[in-house]
Amino acid sequence: MSSEAADPEAFRRVLLKVSGESLKGERGYGIDPEAVNYIASEISSAVVLGVEMGVVVGGGNIWRGAEAETEGMDRATADYAGMLATIICALALQDSLERHGITTRTQSAINVSQIAEPYIRRRAIRHLEKGRVVLFAAGTGNPYVSTDTAAALRAVEIGASMLLMAKHDVDGIYDADPHIHPNAKKFEYVGYFEALEKRLGIMDSTALSLCMDNDLGINVFDLFKPGNLVKLVNGGKLGTFVGAEKPI
């Protein structure tokens, strides 16, 4: 880990969105300890620079409410089960972060008081000010709402400078699936309206609209290239930036 302080002109506080898919590593489902350890290491490298970091964790590696609905399950019930999956993922990441020496707090949008704090905005901000990583679990606590929307909401609530959308299989936003189309063009910058109109798959429209309404910039990047997270919080340019105007 670097001991250098983060660039004061870059980002003092950020919200990192980590998908459940990222935690499964090379496995078909579930949690891969090696993948979790890697993610914790990358987060630790950014936090020791003085960056205040909140993290929203998905749970798609364990459960997907939309898929359960197609198989006949009540959608609200399926989504609540998905919230429990995000809590499992958050606890796994919390454990790994603490083994890296990073003080961590998990806050849940649903009541699981024996294993996580309830989500309280002012308490979360106080944790961040004290240098603790705050893991936001259980989405917004509401069914029919994605963890992308939860990430956008929490980022706005805590006053984050940027929403970092971590990917595990792509390094930004393309005009076509780069895994299928080798000549797909990667965007360095995409405006909010363009992202909505072209349905580029960055996040769902509710989350994207929330970012647009609050002028919250989004950076889509590959978390699994070592050093990318530190580069971003230090003001480096990589991946794809989504915002009102192209950064200088």
CATH number at residue 198: 3.40.1160.10
pLDDT tens by residue, 61-86: 998 877 888 889 999 999 999 999 99
Full residue range of the structural domain in which residue 71 is found: 13-243
pLDDT tens by residue, 156-195: 999 999 999 999 888 898 888 888 888 888 899 999 988 8
Q: What Cα–Cα distance (Å) separates residue 22 from each residue in 14, 72, 88, 220, 246?
A: 19, 27, 14, 14, 28
Q: Give a yes or no: residue 4 inside a domain.
A: no
- Using DSSP's 3-state secondary structure scheme, residue 57 falls into strand
Contacting residues for 186 by C-beta, under 8 A, at least 6 apart? 171, 172, 173, 174, 178, 240
Q: Give a yes or no: residue 109 inside a domain.
A: yes
For the chain, list the strands marked E by DSSP: 13-18, 52-57, 104-108, 117-118, 133-137, 162-167, 173-174, 186-187, 189-191, 218-222, 240-243
Amino acid at 112: V
Q: What is the pTM of this model?
A: 0.91
Check whether 9 has a pLDDT greater than 60. Answer: no
Amino acid at 247: P
Residue 112 is classified by DSSP as -
Domain count, the chain: 1
Q: Give a yes or no: residue 5 inside a domain.
A: no
Q: Give a yes or no: residue 77 inside a domain.
A: yes
Q: Give a yes or no: residue 8 inside a domain.
A: no
Q: Give a yes or no: residue 22 inside a domain.
A: yes
